[in-house]
Structures are given as C-alpha cells and as structure tokens.
Amino acid sequence: MNDKPKLTTTAGSPWPNNQDSLSAGERGPLLIQDYQLIEKLAHQNRERIPERTVHAKGWGAHGKLVITEDISQYTLAKCLQKGAETPMIARFSTVAGEAGAADHERDVRGFSLKFYTEDGNWDMVGNNTPVFFVRDPYKFPDFIHTQKRHPKTNMRSPTAMWDFWSLSPEAMHQVTILMSDRGLPQSPMHMNGYGSHTFSFWNEKGERYWVKFHFKTQQGHDFFTNEEAEKVVGKTREGYQERLFNAIEDGKYPRWKFQIQIMPETDAEKTDYNPFDLTKVWPHDEYPPIDVGYFELNRNAENYFAEIENAAFSPSNIVPGISWSPDKMLQARIFSYADAHRHRLGTHYEQIPVNRPKCPVHHYHKDGEMNVYGGIATGNPNAYYEPNSFNGPVEVREAQEPPLRISGDAARYDHRKYDDYKQPRALYADVMDDAERDRLHQNMGGALVGVPTVIVERWFEHLRQVHPDYEAGVRKEWEAASRDAGYDPNGLPITGDTPHEANDQSPQQPTIEAAE
C-alpha cells in the first residue's frame, strides 16, 4: 500500500489500469467497451475553449486591494472605504496576438482587475494606456479586424493598421503611446493600469462625481527597445509569464499605487474636450490625481486554465457607489464583454469558481450552460420566479444609484469634430524628452516600412498637425528604414517580398488610391 491518491473515473470510481487498453486478444483490435480510453481521448479533444478574439495571451495572479485614504466624500462603495482590504485577481494581456503569441511584442496591454467585494464583484477592465484608438463603438470591430490576420494572406497587415489609423485621427493619441517606450514594457509589473473610461462615483448624499482610475506601477516603467525585444523573443516567447510568476514565487510581490481623478458632475459640460471621450485624458493640472491606496499581487494560480484563462472580466460588473458614465465605448463594452464570456465560457460563467462572487448570490436566471449551483438559494424550490409568495429574493432599493442627468436629442452626433491633436502634442512636446522622441520616431518609422505611400503620407499629415518635428522625425526614420529593407522610400517595393506581409504588394495599391 502507498499513500498516493487513488486514480478514479470522472464519476469517482476507482480505475484499475491507465496503461493498457482493452483489446480482443493481445494482438487484436480495441473494444468500444473501454469507455475510459474513449473518455480520455474525448477530453483531449475538448481541452481548448474558444480563444478570446482579443486579449487571448494573458498572465495573471491573485492579490489584495488596500485602501489607505478616506474618499468617502465621493463614494459609498464599501470596498473603497479607508482600511478596507479586498481579495482580487489580475489578468494582463496583449491585444492582438493569439494565445501562443510571444509576450514581448509591441502592443497595448490589457489590465483587468476583479475585486471580490462584500457587495459583489467589481471589475476594472482597463489597459496600460489612459486612452484608446477609437471613441465610437461602431469603429471597435473594424479596428480589431485591422489588428488581426488578413483574410487572404492569413498574416498581420501593417497596411490595414495604418490605413485605418490614418483615416481615424482620433487614434493619434493612442498610436503615439503605443509607439513610445510604454508600448513595450519589460513585464506586466513594469506598466501602469488605467480604467481608461470615465466612470462615476456616488456618495451617501446621492451626489455623483465622474472618476478616472489609475494604477501606477511601483516597479518602474522598464521597457525594451524593438531590438532588445527581438533578442528576448528569440530566447523565450513566455517572458511575461516567467517574470510575473517567478517574482511572486520568490516573494517579490509587485505593487501598484491606486489613484483617482475626480470631476464634479456639472464640470462635464464645461471642459473643452468631451470628458467621456476615450481618446482623451483629463489633464492632471485640472484634475489632480488623488491617492486612494494600492494593490499587490501575492499568489500565483494553482491552475492557469482554471483561474486565469477562465477569469472573465467585464465593465458591466460594478458595485453600489460605483457606476458608469455616458462614454460611448464604455456603454458598448458593458454589453460586449459579458457577451464574449457567455459565448466563451457559457451562459452562467460567473458560477466558475474564479468568477464566483465571495458574497451570497441570488437571482432568477434559470438554466443554461455552466448552471452548476443554481440561481436562487432560498431553500424553497417554489421561489423560481418573481414576484412570488415563497420568500424568494427581493430587490435592494437602497442600492439604486442617483439619476443620470442627461440632456440632448437622440441623434448620431459627429464625433470627428473634436481636436485630436492637442493631447498627443502635449505628450510629444511637453512630456517626452529628446531620447524618448527619438525612439518614438524610430519605432513608428520602422513600423511604416512597406506600407503603401498614399497611406504613409496621409499619416504624416496627421503627425504634422501634432507637431512638425514629429512628422520630420518619423519621415527621416521611415526613409532610412525603407532603404535598409530594400524599398524605395516612395513605398513601392524594389525587390522581393515586403518584410511584413504579402498583401503589401503593389496590386493592392490601385484599390486604395481609387478609394480616395
């Protein structure tokens, strides 16, 4: 006898032989009666669930959110009161690459946090950048298509990316950050997280404030240049997983300072930018960051699939004291993120342990995939609809947020009328130093190699409107990198294939010009 656990079937019956299949004679065929063999093969075929369309490659860990400051004047959220400590899980990710992509690719990083509060789960589904490429959800699927594979070549398409961006000036801010040092952090521990959208708080008096969430890395903004990243990727494609996992195993728990920006409700009508525009920040001098506390990651998952791949974050998850704003992208994500999880994990994905709230859950949703715990737990099976006379769960009126004050006609407002150059200009001219600007020029100039000239020139016109030095710097680097790659800086291929993709070949160009 030994003290190892007993091997069983998935139904718990002891299993005698996991080495030899059941055959009709030693040299004969297998019997279908060997159900455990069939089950083993069937499980192998079902080990993958649908990959996230975006943010497929991820890394995460468990930790805690600690509130050190008093912000009760803004919010009554229990998890945000001074002294509160809330268990949490974080998942970081790249956007475009598939689940097997290399970690050290230049890309925006997802920065998703789930706080298991006593009032239910609060999810913060942000990025490592304070802004995004688009501000109207109509553009969201189109943008994502440009980041994924070309339908014919099945390769990533710089042509598509730069074509879309050059036709979408609101992308300028985010593209500038993406091509800057912050576009290639050394690890998930070396980047900030931003809620990016504008959310809202409400307090005991029923007053609403608009709020931006910031999570500042305490490990520093260490980054790689493209050349350094290429060397890292040549050695390992899992660099983020290794660094985050090993830091936590070694007890070097990463931390992020938690800050907010607060805007009084009526200010939203006064700012010269739309405070609900996801392509804009709130300048710090107008709305200074306020310290709230910190979060720390201190425990690795025991099972990556169960706890990180199965983790489902959605901006639809808020708790009393925290709510949304009229940000159009946020409004769309409230639907689309939860819907992605219903598709990916099953209708009742919030019953999966990593997603399950740590407080009692009572609702009247009924059957469907993943309904393993049932909805209501009243002890009375007759209370399966509402209203009922059988002591079923009742609504919590005091959890009602104050009314959202909205004015204006229902219409399709032109979102292109805003200035898309001022904030990237502040970043380029006032925040970055010369060395950062040089690296930005190099990164962007290199990324534009092989892209048809008509698109490149359209992009340069946007750069010029941000700052003439921005255009001149990127143009110089693009010309040099194009020559090095065997291209005429006109963008027309001189020899061979483009360094990026087959669809950058000249036959596509007439179509683009004709569309102009």
- Which residue numbers belong to the known binding site for heme? 337
Q: Nearest 10 degrees: CA dihedral of 386, 391, 396, 398? A: 130
Least distance to ligand NDP from the beta carbon of 288, Å? 9
Q: Which listed residue (55, 173, 197, 500) is catalytic?
A: 55
SS3 string of 236-270?
CCCHHHHHHHHHHHCCCCCEEEEEEEEEEHHHHHC
416: three-class secondary structure by DSSP: helix
Burial 43-55 (b: 16+ CB within 10 A, else e): eeeeeeeeebebb
Query: Quick check: 193 binds ligand NDP (CB under 6 A)?
Result: no
CA 334, CA 131: separation in Å to the nearest integer?
A: 17
Binding site feature residues = 337
Least distance to ligand NDP from the beta carbon of 484, Å? 26
SS3 string of 274-311?
CCCCCCCCCCCCCCCCEEEEEEEEEECCCCHHHHHHCC
Least distance to ligand NDP from the beta carbon of 64, Å? 22
Q: What is the per-residue binding string for ligand NDP in 384-423, x denoting contact by CB under 6 A?
A: ---------------------------------------x
The window from 13-21, 93-101, 177-185, 404-412 that contacts ligand NDP (CB under 6 A) reads 177-185
Place of tokens 């998930």: 188
Query: Quick check: 432 binds ligand NDP (CB under 6 A)?
Result: yes
CA 349, CA 71: separation in Å to the nearest integer?
A: 33
Q: Which listed residue (104, 121, 127, 441) is catalytic?
A: 127
Q: What is the per-residue binding string for ligand NDP in 433-472, x denoting contact by CB under 6 A?
A: ---x------------------------------------
Q: Classify residue 410 by burial, with Cβ atoms within 10 Å: 0-12, 13-18, 19+.
A: exposed
Query: Quick check: 180 binds ligand NDP (CB under 6 A)?
Result: yes
Taking the least distance from each CB to ligand NDP, the nearer of 130 and 320 is 130
CA 126, CA 109: separation in Å to the nearest integer?
A: 9
Nearest Cα residue to 174 out of 106, 229, 224 = 106
391 is catalytic: no
Query: Quick check: 63 binds ligand NDP (CB under 6 A)?
Result: no
Contact 211, 259 (CB under 8 A): no
226 is catalytic: no
Query: Quick check: 127 binds ligand NDP (CB under 6 A)?
Result: no
Burial 247-257 (b: 16+ CB within 10 A, else e): bbeeeeebbbb
Taking the least distance from each CB to ligand NDP, the nearer of 317 and 325 is 325
Residue of 431, 435, 514, 515 interacting with ligand NDP (CB under 6 A): 431
| Contacting ligand NDP within 253-282 (CB under 6 A) | 281-282
Least distance to ligand NDP from the beta carbon of 265, Å? 19
Least distance to ligand NDP from the beta carbon of 105, Å? 18
Taking the least distance from each CB to ligand NDP, the nearer of 178 and 345 is 178
CA 510, CA 213: separation in Å to the nearest integer?
A: 45
The site for ligand NDP (CB under 6 A) is made up of: 130, 177, 180-182, 192, 214, 216, 281-284, 423, 426-427, 431-432, 436
Catalytic residues: 55, 127
